[in-house]
Structure 1
Amino acid sequence: MSADTSPLLEVDDLCVEFRTRRGTIRAVNGLSYTLREGETLALLGESGSGKSVAAQAVMGLLDTPPAHITRGAVRLRGEDLLSVPPERHRAVRGTRISMVFQDALTALNPVLTVGDQLSEMFRVHRGTGRKAALARAVALMDRVRIPAAARRVHDYPHQFSGGMRQRVMIAMALALDPEVVIADEPTTALDVTVQAQIMRLLEQLQDETRMGLLLITHDLGVVAEAADRITVMYAGRTVESARAEDLYTRPGHPYTRGLLDSVPRLDRMGKPLVPISGAPPLPSSVPTGCAFHPRCPRAEPRCAGEAPPYQTLSPAGHRSACHFAEEVHRAPVG
């Protein structure tokens, strides 16, 4: 999407732990990725892979126990947000980097009108008067295609449909024209027609503002339509990263291939789906070596004892953390 190749957001070797009475849980373990201006990067993986925790760390929402960021850097245009004072991170949050949280009904305050919640952004961060802030809230609702915005600005969240509530969350994230928007499962629990509308809206707004979009999801269909590049997570780790077209046509990790094989396809009608066996590990008991080895059809003894290094599979930057990445990459899909 973007001609600018300089990183807008860089996450480098991010590690997040939760220290509880039952022990230490490492929810994110060495996550790295870059996001450029005007680009959509998808963070893909099953529930429990650490996607949302990583996003909260980037936003500066994990600054109290039991959460601890033990290692890494989060650089926004070169400024490491993990090394600045908390008040500086708070100043950046919402103004330069913002987040669309999953489940808009619980993310919005049920006892305040939508207009109050949107206009608060302008009153707190811009010092705008109440009347002017409400007018800007109406303009925001118009911007995200909410009909009759001047009237509906006085409604409460429960008076909106799921798709309209998600639009309100997007409006809130875009209120202060941030450079980066993190969308955490923005289409969860929405029907496919509304999903398409929400993703189309995000794409249109991105074209207007040139914002970088980090899309967190487990939905391969949404990723295929929206993403420029994809980072695949498993058990808190990055297992593969590539351009979207490369990852879908020639995956380089058995986990990614398993995700693709488990999706219904028109060219395989009448054939049974091929699910990934087993279940993702609990963050408190991640297997040694390659965390995916208990579920992997290619696993060999070395996979249980030796963590695989990241290998570069193509000049375009396709990378995979698998002992058999080259063989998986060469194998035909489907």
Structure 2
Amino acid sequence: MSPAAHPLLEVEDLCVEFRTRRGTIRAVNGLSYTLHEGETLALLGESGSGKSVAAQAVMGLLDTPPAHITRGAVRLRGDDLLALSPERHREVRGTRLSMIFQDALTALNPVLSVGDQLAEMYRVHQGMGRKAALARAVALMDRVRIPAASRRIHDYPHQFSGGMRQRVMIAMALALDPEVVIADEPTTALDVTVQAQIMRLLKQLQSETRMGLLLITHDLGVVAEAADRITVMYAGRTVESASADDLYARPGHPYTRGLLDSVPRLDRLGKPLVPITGAPPLPSSIPAGCAFHPRCPRAEPRCGSEAPPFRTLSPAGHRSACHFAEEVHHAPVG
């Protein structure tokens, strides 16, 4: 099969465990999704659902105990990343696959200038000299719209605002024109205006390079603006996947519907929000059957003992792992 026939990134039945003295923690428990060239796929779920751990597994950052990838496949244009040696995986990171981390201030090295950190990408992966690499770093900062890049190249991370630091992280992720960029909560702790600027910048850069963008977030507003398709995670597992338009219009899983109902809306002014009761389960004690059943308003006895299979709800590929997916999908929204 030719490389063009493969999805850009394919994750299939991925399982990640952390084996500790207190027991085994199943952080990712059967996650599957595909990402295509030029597409934005949102990985959506509450904090603790396993989104960031899954991203680190794809990046090859969980190759030492106590982390263990126990099952599944991660394929980049058909190449099995989990079969690569740690050395080969390091070569793939940055060149074909890169990541924008959640907190730019902690992800960047505080004792090196941003210019040196950006230039290191070119020096390590392309063998450039320091002067040529710094020139490329300035061009890269211009590309992500950092003002006065030639002067600010010598500044340190703490001298940048939160939004500008995030632009530096985006520049670092895009330095070697990767095929896939994973953005882990790229707008966390930024105000709404800066959030919009960051997401608009990512979209512009994506249109220039045709990269696939995996957007990890719990922010439904960001997802609505940016995503082409959405995969919803709960307790480390995919529970629903659909195009963004289909999922917002007619969710097929009670968890997804609960997330949407808990968001303020202009057409429901004066009405109380409807929160999801309870809290997500701890990864060390995921309930049997459907993991969402202790919080689900539709739960019946079978939900506590039988894990629901995926059901296809539309020809467009809308899928949901719920015993009552059809009823949820056809119920009125709002």
* TM bin (shorter chain): over 0.9
- Is 2:26 the partner of 1:17? no
**In the alignment, which residue of structure 1 is the partner of 2:249?**
249
State yes or no: 1:221 paired with 2:221.
yes
Task: Tell me if 1:162 matches 2:162.
Answer: yes
Determine helix, strand or coil for the equivalent of 1:214: strand
Residue 177 (structure 1) aligns with: 177
Structure 1 residues 5 and 229: CA distance shift in structure 2, 3 A: farther
Change (3 A) 1:298 1:101: same
Q: CA separation in 1, counterparts of 2:30 and 2:286?
A: 14
Structure 2 portions without partners, runs of 5+: none
Partner of 2:94: 94
Equivalent position amino acid for 1:277 in 2? T
Counterparts of 1:264 and 1:86, CA distance in 2: 45
Q: Deviation string for 1:27-86 (max 9, x for gaps)?
A: 001111000000000000000000000000000000000000001111000000001222
Deviation at 1:88, TM superposition (A): 1.4
Give me the CA root mean square deviation. 0.8
Q: Does 1:140 align with 2:156?
A: no
Q: Distance in 2 between matches of 1:72 and 1:281?
A: 23
> Could you say what secondary structure the match of 2:316 adopts?
coil
Contact 1:17 1:68 in 2 (8 A): yes
The separation in 1 between residues aligned to 2:143 and 2:33, in whole angstroms, is 30
Describe the SS at the equivalent of 1:82: helix
User: SS at the partner of 2:82?
Assistant: coil
Per-residue deviation, residues 147-172 of structure 1 (Å, max 9, x unmatched): 00000000000000000000000000
How many angstroms apart in 1 are the aligned matches of 2:32 and 2:315? 19
Looking at structure 2, the residues matched to 87 and 235 of structure 1 have their Cα atoms a distance apart, in angstroms, of: 31
Pairing of 1:1-334 with structure 2 (within 5 A) = 6-334=6-334
1:333, 1:189 → 2: CA distance? 30
Letter in 1 for 2:298: R
Q: What amino acid does structure 2 have at the position aligned with 1:214?
A: L
Is the Cα contact below 8 Å between 2:6 and 2:78 reproduced in 1? Answer: no
Work out the CA distance in 1 between the residues paired with 2:85 and 2:282: 33
Work out the CA distance in 1 between the residues paired with 2:109 and 2:210.
29
Identity of aligned residues (%): 90
The one-letter code sitting in structure 2 at the alignment partner of 1:27 is A
The letter for the 2-side match of 1:295 is R
Q: For each residue in 1:109-141, what CA deviation from the matched residue of structure 2 results, as whole angstroms up to 9, or x when unmatched?
A: 001000010000000000000000000000000
- CA distance in 1: counterparts of 2:216 and 2:283, whole angstroms: 19
Provide the C-alpha distance between the structure 1 equivalents of 2:82 and 2:317, rounded to a whole number of angstroms. Answer: 27
Runs (4+) of structure 1 exceeding 4 A deviation are none
Q: 1:286 deviation in Å?
A: 0.6
Q: Which amino acid aligns with 2:172?
A: M
Paired letter, 2:112 = L
Residues 281 and 253 of structure 1: CA distance in aligned 2, closer, same or farther (over 3 Å): same
Amino acid at match of 1:328: V
Write the letter of the residue equivalent to 1:65: P
Structure 1: unaligned runs, 5 residues or longer: none
| Distance in structure 2 (CA, Å) of the matches to 1:6 and 1:139 | 33
Asked if 2 retains the 8 angstrom alpha-carbon contact of 1:5 and 1:36, the reply is: no
* Number of equivalenced pairs: 331
CA shift, 1:304, in A, is: 0.4
Shift of 1:5: 7.6
Aligned mates of 1:34, 1:221 — CA distance in 2 = 22
CA distance in 1, matches of 2:71, 2:41: 22
Decide whether aligned partners of structure 1 residues 32 and 266 sit closer, same or farther in structure 2, where only a CA change above 3 A counts: same
